[in-house]
Structure 1
Amino acid sequence: MASVSVANARKNYGHLEILHGVDIDIQDGEFVILVGPSGCGKSTLLRMIAGLEEISGGRISIGGRVVNDVAPKERDIAMVFQSYALYPHMTVEANMGFSLRLAKAPKEEIKARVREAAQILGLEKLLDRHPRNLSGGQRQRVAMGRAIVRQPQVFLFDEPLSNLDAKLRVQMRSEIKQLHQRLKTTTIYVTHDQIEAMTMADKIVVMRDGHVEQIGSPLDLYDSPANLFVAGFIGSPGMNFIKGQISADGPIEFVANGGARLPIPAHVPFTRGQQVIYGIRPEHLTINQGGAQADVTLIEPTGAETQITAGLGNVQIVATVRDRLALRAGDLISIAPDLTKVQLFDAVSEKALRG
């Protein structure tokens, strides 16, 4: 196991810069997820750590050793790809032990390591099968097993669950997290799915356009997003955003562009008349207990919860409630925010206003 340090890492393709000085420190044994929309540079960064892409500037270290000019096979890492990348003519056992055979490891050691990995992943009964006879989830386990047998310092995962159906993705999320808890190997995982990031990571790195927007634990990012982008990207359903300003005179409150008025937390710094964006998550809204008037436009029961979409002035907002309210489209309701959960963002810089 080893720590990983990325310092001022840059990546250029000709005159086009893709990564703009990325800094990330990953502790020994941590499970870190790089998350962001397509094109943000997360997979490029992962490939740079693996040595599959050259670094254009900065430094990447694994276990305290700078690896900028070290070949991928000498970095003591193992990578699991989105496409499984299994050899179709080889059995599961042969696929899992292939890298060890290339390294000329003793046959008994190869067999022992493969059997151990198969036991961890529940593949003991599948070792004689070929990839064509496996399900998607089983193929992904084989790909993971091939990485495990190498006993690397660092595991790298590049969107490994994106080819699986929704139910299997949930199952594999749990299995990968349990695998990490068992092996305690430093893991860097790339995904565009913020649910994967929230449920699996010790630490999340949110990226956009080649920059790191925020680094923190899942709940840190959820409760205290640094800016509008992070607040909107983390959480499902997403945070409600309402444009407006702090009242210029009279009672101190938020005045939406559509005229609705909402209370603001006292600890947030602001100036009278400041243009801001009011952020509140759906689960932090209460219905029909005082507050601003809104028109119900959609009711979506999911069983344990009900999502209510309503028009608040000229903006549509979503509230998530556990009570089974007798509502239908067209009803008039009142919506009140939990003031301890309200987030205010400067309308120009889009940065969170913090006390």
Structure 2
Amino acid sequence: MASVTVNKVDKYYGSVQVLHGVDVNIADGEFVVLVGPSGCGKSTLLRMIAGLEEISKGEISIGGRVVNDVAPKDRDIAMVFQNYALYPHMTVKENMAFSLKLAKAPKNVIDERVGKAAGILGLGQLLDRYPRQLSGGQRQRVAMGRAIVRDPQVFLFDEPLSNLDAKLRVQMRTEIKELHQRLKTTAIYVTHDQIEAMTMADRIVVMQGGYVEQIGAPLDLYDHPNNLFVAGFIGSPSMNFIEGTFRTDGSGGMVVAKDGVTRLPVPARLGGKDGTEVVYGVRPEHLYISESGQGVPAKVVVVEPTGAETMVVVHMAGQEVQAIFRERHRFEPGQDVMLLPDVDHLHLFDKRTGKRIEA
């Protein structure tokens, strides 16, 4: 096991810069997820850690050793790819043992490591099969087994679940997390799926346009996003954003929405200067039905019951807003309702800079 340090790393392709001064410190044994939209630079960063891409500027260290000029095979890392990358003419056992054979490991060591990995991943009955005889989930387990037998300092995962169906993805992300808890090996995992990031990571690195927007524990990012991008990217369904103008009053403040009519409550803790153009953020689960008749008027547009909860799209403050209710309400399209934002879970952002406003 080893720590990984990415220090002020830039990446250029010709004159085009795709990574800008990236700083990430990953502790020994930590599971860190790099997440962001396509093109944000997360896979490029992972490939630079693996040694598959050159570093234009800055340093990457693994276990305290700078690896900028170290060949991939000498970095003591193991990578699991999106497309499995299994040899079709080799059995499961042969695929898992291949790297050890290249390293000229003794046969008893190979058998021991392959057997141990197969036991961990539930592949014991499949060792004599070929990849074509396996399901997608089984192939991904073999790819992970091939990485495990190397006993590396760091595991690198490049969107390993994106080729699987939805149900299998849920199962496999649980298995990967259990695997990490058992092996305690440092892991860096790339995905564009923020649900994977939230459920698997010890810490998340949110990236956009080659920049690191925020690093933190999953619930810290969810509850305290630094800016509009992180607030909108983390969480499903995403946070509702309502543009308006901050106004102060005797009890704290309010946001007057762009429709010029709707008043949205703001607690004093969020601060803000009178007249500032802001974006009012509230998550769907933090909107409640008003029992007193006081609140923000809204009109039901679409009702989507899922069983455990009901998602409702409403027209509020001149735009469509999503609300989620765990209680059973009978909503009808066109129905008028009054909604109360939970003032303990509101977010206020400066419209010009996109940054979170704090008192």
TM-score under structure 1 normalisation? 0.99
Asked if residue 275 in structure 1 is aligned to residue 268 in structure 2, the reply is no
1:310 to 310, 314, 331: 314
Partner of 2:288: 286
Taking the aligned partners of 1:327 and 1:155, their CA distance within structure 2 comes to 48
2:270 aligns to what SS in structure 1?
Answer: coil
Taking the aligned partners of 1:73 and 1:291, their CA distance within structure 2 comes to 62
Taking the aligned partners of 2:160 and 2:242, their CA distance within structure 1 comes to 36
Show structure 1 runs of 5+ residues with no match: none
Asked if residue 60 in structure 1 is aligned to residue 84 in structure 2, the reply is no
1:1-80 alignment runs, 5 A limit:
1-80=1-80
Asked if residue 265 in structure 1 is aligned to residue 277 in structure 2, the reply is no
Taking the aligned partners of 1:231 and 1:194, their CA distance within structure 2 comes to 12
1:296 to 297, 300, 304: 300
Q: Is the 8 A contact 2:18 2:41 kept in 1?
A: yes
1:117-136 alignment runs, 5 A limit:
117-136=117-136
Partner of 2:327: 323
1:1-355 alignment runs, 5 A limit:
1-247=1-247, 252-258=253-259, 259-289=261-291, 290-355=294-359
Q: Is the 8 A contact 1:232 1:239 kept in 2?
A: yes
Deviation at 1:313? 2.7
Deviation at 1:65? 0.1
Deviation at 1:8? 0.4
Corresponding letter in the other structure for 2:247: S
Show structure 2 runs of 5+ residues with no match: none
Q: Is the 8 A contact 1:249 1:272 kept in 2?
A: no
Q: Is the 8 A contact 1:222 1:234 kept in 2?
A: yes
Taking the aligned partners of 1:335 and 1:193, their CA distance within structure 2 comes to 30
Percent identity at matched positions?
67
4+ residue runs over 6 A deviation: 248-251
TM-score under structure 2 normalisation? 0.98
1:58 aligns to what SS in structure 2?
Answer: strand
Taking the aligned partners of 1:98 and 1:84, their CA distance within structure 2 comes to 14
Q: Is the 8 A contact 2:35 2:192 kept in 1?
A: yes
Corresponding letter in the other structure for 1:268: L
Taking the aligned partners of 2:184 and 2:65, their CA distance within structure 1 comes to 20
Corresponding letter in the other structure for 1:189: Y
Q: Which moved more, 1:33-42 or 1:323-332?
A: 323-332
Taking the aligned partners of 2:87 and 2:358, their CA distance within structure 1 comes to 53
Taking the aligned partners of 2:24 and 2:308, their CA distance within structure 1 comes to 38
Q: Which moved more, 1:252-261 or 1:173-182?
A: 252-261
Q: Is the 8 A contact 1:30 1:202 kept in 2?
A: yes
Deviation digits for residues 129-172 of structure 1 (CA, Å, limit 9, x no counterpart): 00000000000000000000000000000000000000000000
Deviation digits for residues 14-63 of structure 1 (CA, Å, limit 9, x no counterpart): 11111011000000000000000000000000000000000000000000
Q: Is the 8 A contact 1:247 1:272 kept in 2?
A: yes
Deviation at 1:323? 1.2
2:266 aligns to what SS in structure 1?
Answer: coil
